[in-house]
Copies of this chain bind each other. A is one copy, B any other.
Amino acid sequence: MSDPVFFSPVRRIDAAQVAELCGASLGNPESAGVEITGIASADQGGPGDLVFLEGRRGAGLLPKLRADAVLCTADLAPSVPAGIAVLVTPRPQQAFALIARHLFPDATKPGPWFSAVAGISPSAHVASDAQVESGATIEAGAVVGPGAMIGAGAVIAPTAVIGPSCQVGRNTFVGPGASIQAALIGDRVIIHAGARIGADGFGFVSGRAGLEKVPQIGRVIIQDNVEIGANTTIDRGALGDTIIGDGTKIDNLVQIGHNVRIGRSCAIAAQVGISGSVVIGDYVMLGGRVGIGDHLTVGSGAQLAAGSGLMHDVPAGERWGGAPAQPMKSWLREVSLLRGMAQERSRRKNGNG
């Protein structure tokens, strides 16, 4: 099989333009005209590529660096091999991302899959009273329910399902096979393949007939600029709303229970589980596989280490870890205490004590 290209840069730029775009300074001015035709990670660069380097990892890659231009911090610049354009900036990764978005604008906002032009595919199923703004794209096999509204520039990918009366904002992408129920989705939102927005929450009471269902009649509100990972599930509110704040990014296979409220610009890694009615502030970072018990509060700016199991509220700005989770310092102290005791005991048993 031949090698397909999934993305090509839409424009070519030279090193001087890179410097101008991201505010870097060109370390070797004779390289101003070096042409950039692609981007790569620092261990996989080649001719025409721009790469970035920072920190200890970056320093380690310096000797073998192969690329035509590199974004790096000032301390690394002197060690860049000759013949590579050096672009000095305090935040190489951020500058690199900016250039990447400049060269590959389509990769930041998934576009139509099947049509060169926007519009409703003849193979899509759109209810007669759905409102699809001009400039929206509904792809083959997608389903848009009665009363739904789809904003201009939105893309509903193949086999995605938009439920009755749901609203999808402008320039929002709903990935293949994803489904939206009982939800209002803002502008510039990216919802990846297979995500499930607005299914019923897990609400039951014990009754004579066993577990009886508590009707789930609330909604999901997804604010602007949110990104939601593949196969992630966000339940509708039981009575009120489940809310995901502006600019929050959620990875794959995350579970968000009913009535959860998450603030702005949070980063939530894969396989996190957030129980019902949890309240999370702004700029919170949750590592992979964190679990949070119901009705808990996580203050703004708090960070939870991967794998934490939260059973108490976390104050703003604190870093916690472990299961049951506790402040990072205490957790690491316990880990190291137990390790030390076990090693000492093992030494004694072996007659070295």
Partner of A114, one of B7, B113, B127, B271: B127
- Main secondary structure on chain A at its contact with chain B? loop
Scan residues 1-39 of chain A and give those whose CB is less than 8 A from a CB of chain B: 1, 4-7, 39
Asked if A251 CB lies within 8 Å of chain B CBs, one says yes
| A255 nearest in chain B by CB position | B270
Interface size class of A (residues with CB under 8 A): 35 or more
Scan residues 247-266 of chain A and give those whose CB is less than 8 A from a CB of chain B: 247-249, 251-253, 255, 257, 259, 264-265
Copies of this chain present: 3
Given contacts A41-B239, A249-B204, A253-B233, are A165 and B6 in contact (CB under 8 A)? yes
Scan residues 283-328 of chain A and give those whose CB is less than 8 A from a CB of chain B: 288-289, 291, 293, 295, 306-307, 309, 323-324, 326
A134 contacts which chain B residues (CB < 8 A)?
Answer: none
Asked if A81 CB lies within 8 Å of chain B CBs, one says no
Asked if A82 CB lies within 8 Å of chain B CBs, one says no
A275 to B199, CA, bound (A): 25
A96, A103, A149, A289 pick with most chain B CB within 10 angstroms: A289
Partner of A233, one of B169, B219, B230: B230
- Closest beta carbon of chain B to A93's beta carbon, Å: 5
Given contacts A233-B252, A247-B210, are A215 and B107 in contact (CB under 8 A)? yes
A291 contacts which chain B residues (CB < 8 A)?
Answer: 271, 288-289, 306-307
- Closest beta carbon of chain B to A264's beta carbon, Å: 7
Asked if A167 CB lies within 8 Å of chain B CBs, one says yes
Partner of A5, one of B165, B240, B267: B165
A184 to B3, CA, bound (A): 9
Given contacts A44-B240, A140-B125, are A101 and B213 in contact (CB under 8 A)? yes
- Closest beta carbon of chain B to A142's beta carbon, Å: 8
Asked if A182 CB lies within 8 Å of chain B CBs, one says yes
Given contacts A104-B215, A291-B289, A337-B345, are A192 and B202 in contact (CB under 8 A)? no
| A209 nearest in chain B by CB position | B247
A307 contacts which chain B residues (CB < 8 A)?
Answer: 291, 309, 323
- Closest beta carbon of chain B to A178's beta carbon, Å: 8
Given contacts A270-B273, A342-B334, are A179 and B194 in contact (CB under 8 A)? yes
A-B contact pairs, 25 of them (CB 8 A): A4-B165, A4-B166, A4-B167, A6-B165, A96-B214, A97-B212, A97-B215, A98-B207, A101-B212, A114-B164, A145-B158, A159-B159, A176-B181, A177-B194, A179-B193, A196-B252, A202-B249, A210-B264, A211-B267, A253-B255, A253-B273, A257-B270, A289-B289, A326-B339, A330-B343
